[in-house]
Amino acid sequence: MQKANFFIGQIIYHKLFDYRGVIFDADFQFLGSQDWYDKIARSRPSKNQPWYHVLVDNATHHTYIAESNLEPSKIITPINHPWIDRYFEQLEDGVYQLKTRKN
């Protein structure tokens, strides 16, 4: 199993499609369907690497991105997405703090 180089709450930059986002979940390898991969994963990244669920900045959708297409964002200003409060408490030192569940 490959070690993930990014983490939940980290602001990232998509190298191929030129957008920022924040990671809200991660998979140790591609866990989507073959149909989704064939239709959506245009750059055909390897399935045998970590994949990340990302809230896209200045958008209302989220994406599923292979690690090889990401780099840490040099810009760490807040992400503008309607679901940000669903997953995170606040942005602290450039990292979103995951919401903790209260029983």
CA distance 95 to 92: 5
Task: Transcribe the chain into DSSP letters.
Answer: -PPPSS-TTBEEEETTTTEEEEEEEEESS--S-HHHHHHH-TT---SSS-EEEEEETTSS-EEEEEGGGEEE-S--SPP--TTHHHHEEEEETTEEEEPPP--
Domain ranges of the chain: 11-98
CATH number for the domain whose boundaries are 11-98: 2.30.30
On whether the CB atoms of residues 66 and 30 are closer than 8 A, the answer is yes
CA distance 100 to 80: 21
Per-residue pLDDT tens over the stretch 12-46 = 999 999 999 999 999 999 999 999 899 888 788 99
**Confidence (pLDDT) at 86:** 95
Q: Which two tokens stand for residue 91?
A: 């942005």
Per-residue pLDDT tens over the stretch 43-99 = 889 999 999 999 999 999 999 999 999 999 999 999 999 999 999 999 999 999 999
**Confidence (pLDDT) at 103:** 59
